[in-house]
Amino acid sequence: MEEISETLEGLDRPLVDLDVTPGGQVFAITEKGKGKEAKGQRIFVNGQPLPVPVPINHPVLRALDETRLLVADSRTREKTNAWILRTTGEVENTFWIGEEIEDIIPLQNGLAVAYFDQAYATQFDGVVLFNPAGEAVFRHNEANPDTDTVVDCYCACRAGRDQVLFLGYPDFPVILLDAVTRQETIWKAPSEVRGASAVTMAGGIAFFHGNYQDGPGIYRWRLGDRKAERIGEHTGRLRGLSGGRFLHLRTAGYTSVSLTDEVRGSER
């Protein structure tokens, strides 16, 4: 396990979300101020500030590629709560992707959006796929009306160009969803990862951070195995990226946690 920390320069207020592209670009957003200070919220692209489309109370920021990013308000009832921006600041598209968003996973041709349990039985709940135009095209719960209903998504990550892996609740199914074929593979999570708050995947190995009994623990689980193995720990809150990597957001930067060595070690 390797950890690398980076600090962003030129920030005038704390960060509230951040993402890193495969090419190493850093996209970040600062917190919203109060009153007149709300207008000071900024998006940073490699240290260069851009204005936000509107002040956002609960922002989620994700890199779509090297030149585009998505920023959304995860808890709002406004009719628009997601914006696709170019790194020049131009707004490319706007749409609505629901309330009570747990995570947004950019895929090759769209988005997977995971929701908290507060969104259950609303227009969007569980895990929903959106196309690039912002239209909902697949709902896990509608595809599984009799079984495997997900009322809360504990964590999710991109598992391939068009795949998303997520841990649902109740019963803690681990679900690998192919966004192209809409096929799902479902396993029952081992006890060691139930309640996990973050997941990443590489080479058929899923890594989970935290569980009900072991908040800082990092566990390695080969898909379908009966047990998971504790391989390390991290005390901060993590978010799973693709390729066996976690990201820990700090007020002025981030820490990247790579587990690629653990994937190679499991193959020996």
pLDDT tens digits, 191-246: 999 999 999 999 899 999 999 999 999 999 999 999 999 999 999 999 999 999 99
Element (H, E) at 82: strand 82-86
Binning pLDDT at 50, 70 and 90, where does residue 260 land? confident
**Secondary structure of 175-210 as H, E, C letters:** EEEECCCCCEEEEECCHHHCCCCEEEEECCEEEEEC
Query: What is the pLDDT at residue 160?
Result: 87
Percent of the chain with pLDDT over 70: 97
- pLDDT surpassing 90 at residue 263: no
- pLDDT surpassing 90 at residue 265: no
CA–CA gap between residue 53 and residue 91 (Å, rounded): 8
- pLDDT surpassing 60 at residue 267: no
What mean pLDDT do residues 163-181 have? 95
Query: What is the pLDDT at residue 266?
Result: 58
Query: What is the pLDDT at residue 10?
Result: 87
Binning pLDDT at 50, 70 and 90, where does residue 264 land? low
Q: What is the mean pLDDT of the chain?
A: 92
Binning pLDDT at 50, 70 and 90, where does residue 146 land? confident
The per-residue pLDDT for range 148-157, each reduced to its tens digit, is 789 999 999 9
CA–CA gap between residue 153 and residue 87 (Å, rounded): 30
Tokens representing 40 are 């000071």
The per-residue pLDDT for range 40-83, each reduced to its tens digit, is 899 999 889 999 999 999 999 999 999 999 999 999 888 899 99
Tell me, yes or no, if the pTM score tops 0.85.
yes
> Is the Cβ–Cβ distance between 247 and 254 less than 8 Å?
yes
Query: What is the pLDDT at residue 268?
Result: 46
CA–CA gap between residue 190 and residue 256 (Å, rounded): 26
> Is the Cβ–Cβ distance between 107 and 122 less than 8 Å?
no
What mean pLDDT do residues 3-28 have? 94
